[in-house]
Amino acid sequence: MEDIGIKIRENGWKQGCLFPAARFSDQFPDLARDDTCHLLVVSQSCDLVHHSLENEPLAVFLVTRRVDAIRPAHANGLHPRQIDFAATGEIAISASAWEQISVDRTFLAEHDINDAPIVAEPQLRVVLNWLGKRYTRTAFPDGFNDQLRKASAKIKGALKKKQHLFSDVLLSVQPFRELNQGEHYQVVLNLMMDESAYNDEEALNQADTVAKRIRSIMEASGIEVVQCEAVSETELTLADFKLMQRWDYDYLTYREELAN
């Protein structure tokens, strides 16, 4: 039997391919009725062209739809459940993390997609990282999230205004569980900066201002802040990194929105 991966590769299937659902209306009849609907291939290219159907039977597509404009709050993976991004040229599309479909890879072997546009690598990486965060985002204790929820907009606002300064936000929460009576949360928050930004006096001063603002907000919410400061990526050791988690602070805001 011919290696199915060879045929799929010849047909042009790869991660990042984007095509209208209507192109294959027999395969996607429900989606094809919506002329704004496009499918983005999110399976890794090496999985798409794997030689064995038994070991790798399916390909995964993300359902997307054309929109008039990109919403800032949904760009760059900021929203935990929805994303808006530039597909190709002037086309803007939107997707929900839950709306994915799996397709038998025999379909890929039967259809040529060589003329389909590919979402550019920087933007594609944002989309894939956003999808991955759905499964890897650290779940901080509910009690900790509850204490900060009312202040979440203030925290988000402080970070967003200067988000270009920071490469990551790392947080350590102790105890990492729900509190017993008489206990309170202690945190260490590192606003990570690349070395060039950290060595820029003006940028560092702005980052320090953000750190002081967040410390004030957290303390007003009843959180004990052991440390909250801008830190150079070159200063953080592997041991330090293992003690901290990436903080998806936007999740606080959107949890509150969805609850209302």
Q: Residue 95 sits in a domain of what CATH number?
A: 2.30.30.110
Centroid of chain to Cα 140: 17
Residue where a domain stops, chosen among 117, 136, 155 = 136
Cβ contact 152:249 at 8 Å: yes
Residue where a domain stops, chosen among 136, 158, 183 = 136
Tell whether 79 and 173 lie within a shared domain: no
Tell whether 107 and 205 lie within a shared domain: no
Tell whether 158 and 245 lie within a shared domain: yes
**Strands 224-232 and 186-193, how do they pair?**
parallel
Tell whether 109 and 46 lie within a shared domain: yes
Tell whether 103 and 172 lie within a shared domain: no
The range of the structural domain enclosing residue 44 comes to: 4-136
Tell whether 49 and 163 lie within a shared domain: no
The amino acid occupying position 193 is M
Output phi, psi for 135, to 5 deg: -105, -15
Tell whether 120 and 168 lie within a shared domain: no
pLDDT in tens, 183-218: 999 999 999 998 999 999 999 999 999 999 999 999
Tell whether 25 and 95 lie within a shared domain: yes
CA separation for the pair 78, 252 (Å, rounded): 12
Successive 10-residue mean pLDDT values, the chain, 260 residues? 85 96 95 95 95 93 94 80 85 93 96 94 90 79 89 86 84 92 92 92 95 95 94 87 78 44
Report how many domains make up the chain. Answer: 2
Cβ contact 136:245 at 8 Å: no
Q: What is the pLDDT of residue 249?
A: 64
Rounded to 5, what percent of the chain is helix, strand, coil?
40, 25, 35
Residue where a domain stops, chosen among 136, 152, 173 = 136
Q: What is the pLDDT of residue 250?
A: 57
